[in-house]
Structure 1
Amino acid sequence: MGLLKDIRSDLTTYNGKWGEQGFWVMLVYRYGRWRYTIQNGIVRKPFSLLYHVSYKMVQIMTGIELPCEVPVGKNFRIDHFGDIIISGYASFGDNCIIRNGVTVGLKNIEDKTAPQIGNNVNIGAGAKILGNIKIGDNVDIGANAVVITSVPNNSIAVGIPARIPKKGPRN
């Protein structure tokens, strides 16, 4: 029942628009997470095969790579599709929005740590968030920003490399 509840919640996040590419990605993501609840490895194998085929199909159709190993919070939204890559080592809090061209991943291949994204984070188109960093709660990351250092709560990050100017009250 957890799978259906998560899918209903995702559909609500997408305003009931089941045709949104981001929703398709979340549907496959939720299924991938759910298959790990099957304890018997032999029974799980066909479900895993279906997940891997579905994952690759959705990745090709949408240009979005969101492995089921990534923990994401409630109301995770992929607002625009295409060219989105998320490392399996990353994590996201609640109410995060990402847009097209976003990469959340490793800074270098030897370091298997990726960003930990907090709650209420808005990531602009083309942003790159890389390395063993933490993005705080209530953060806005500007379009095309390259974030390679941690960002504190209630901040914005803009530029290449990203700088963190003072942020006014959130509307």
Structure 2
Amino acid sequence: MRSFLRELRNLKKIREEDIKEYLKKDPSLESKWQLFFHGGFQALQLYRISHLFYRHDLKFISYFFYYLSRIFYSVDIHPGAIIEPGVVIDHGIGTVIGSTVTIGKGTLIYHGVTLGSRNIQKGKRHPDIGRNVLIGCGASVLGPIKIGDNVQIGANSVVLSSVPSNVKVAGIPAKIVGWTNVQEIPEYIEWIV
């Protein structure tokens, strides 16, 4: 019970890291209070609560918050997914994140993204997304693959195999089309959106 309460209090610190990244990566935000009306941010916060209950085996409560996120924001983030603090889900509508996904800090996910599976077997079946990754709108990253740090995935791309760090990928299936050579994804990248 103590660990649950400690983690519950820690959600405030995680929320602050999320807010900091949103303000850095969403040029339409003028102040952090606008996040109260931001569907992607609200869905991410509901996921964080859901994930906390899920980790402490309070599955009914966990799935209740998961359900609220799907109904109110049209964002489907399974409570079993692991999302580090400081991730941005821009808009969020139509975003699907599977149960065994991991997402690193600094990642920016646009609307309509699927981080999903290619089969129905148990165990690890979803992608691991590195840090400072940009995933363009409508992109699908499927299967138990690894996406390196500082990767940019083009809009509507379908990624079916692992991607090394510091590259741009695009297409169906996605192929390397360039290099990022950056430590952080820029706020606006014209070729992605």
Q: Same fold (TM over 0.5)?
A: yes
| Matched-pair contact (CA < 8 Å) for 2:52–2:62 | no
2:131 is aligned, of 115, 119, 129, to 119
Partners of 1:52 and 1:168 in 2: how far apart? 38
Q: Which one of 120, 128, 134 corresponds to residue 109 of structure 1?
A: 120
Provide structure 1 residue ranges, at least 5 long, that are not aligned to the other structure.
none
The farther-off stretch of 78-87 and 53-62 is 53-62
Whole-angstrom CA distance in 2 between matches of 1:34 and 1:169: 35
The correspondence for 1:23, drawn from 25, 32, 41, is 41
> Is the aligned partner of 1:129 residue 2:141?
yes
Query: What secondary structure, in the 3-state scheme, does the structure 1 residue paired with 2:115 have?
Result: strand
Where structure 2 has 5 or more consecutive residues not aligned to the other structure, the ranges are 1-8, 24-31, 187-193
Query: Percent of counterpart pairs with the same letter?
Result: 34
55, 58, 63: which one aligns with 2:66:
55
TM-score, normalization by structure 1: 0.86
Residue 159 in 1 paired to residue 171 in 2?
A: yes
Alignment counterpart, residue 100 of structure 1, candidates 91, 106, 111: 111
Change (3 A) 1:165 1:90: same
Question: Offset at 1:152?
Answer: 0.4
Q: 1:152 to 1:18 in 2, by over 3 A?
A: same
Distance apart, 1:168 and its partner CA: 5.0
1:64 Cα deviation (Å)?
0.6
Cα distance in 2 between the residues matched to 1:133 and 1:96: 16
Q: Secondary structure at the match of 1:56?
A: helix
Residue identity opposite 2:172 in structure 1: I
Structure 1 CA distance for aligned equivalents of residues 131 and 86 of structure 2 = 10
1:167 to partner: Cα distance = 1.5
Task: Give RMSD over aligned pairs.
Answer: 2.0
Q: Distance in 1 between matches of 2:92 and 2:50?
A: 20
Using structure 2 for the length normalisation, give the TM-score.
Answer: 0.77
How big is the shift at 1:32?
1.8
- Please state how far the C-alpha of 1:50 moved relative to its aligned partner: 4.1
How far apart are the structure 2 equivalents of 1:98 and 1:60?
Answer: 20
1:45-104 CA distances to partner (integer Å, 9 max, x unpaired)? xxx544422321221221111122111112111012211111111111110111111100
Query: Which residue identity is paired with 2:51?
Result: R
Number of aligned residue pairs: 164
Q: Which residue, 155, 158, 164 being the options, matches 1:143?
A: 155
Instruction: Select between 109-118 and 93-102 the one with higher mean Cα deviation.
Output: 109-118
- After superposition, the Cα gap between the structure-2 partners of 1:111 and 1:158, relative to the gap in structure 1 and judged at 3 Å, is farther
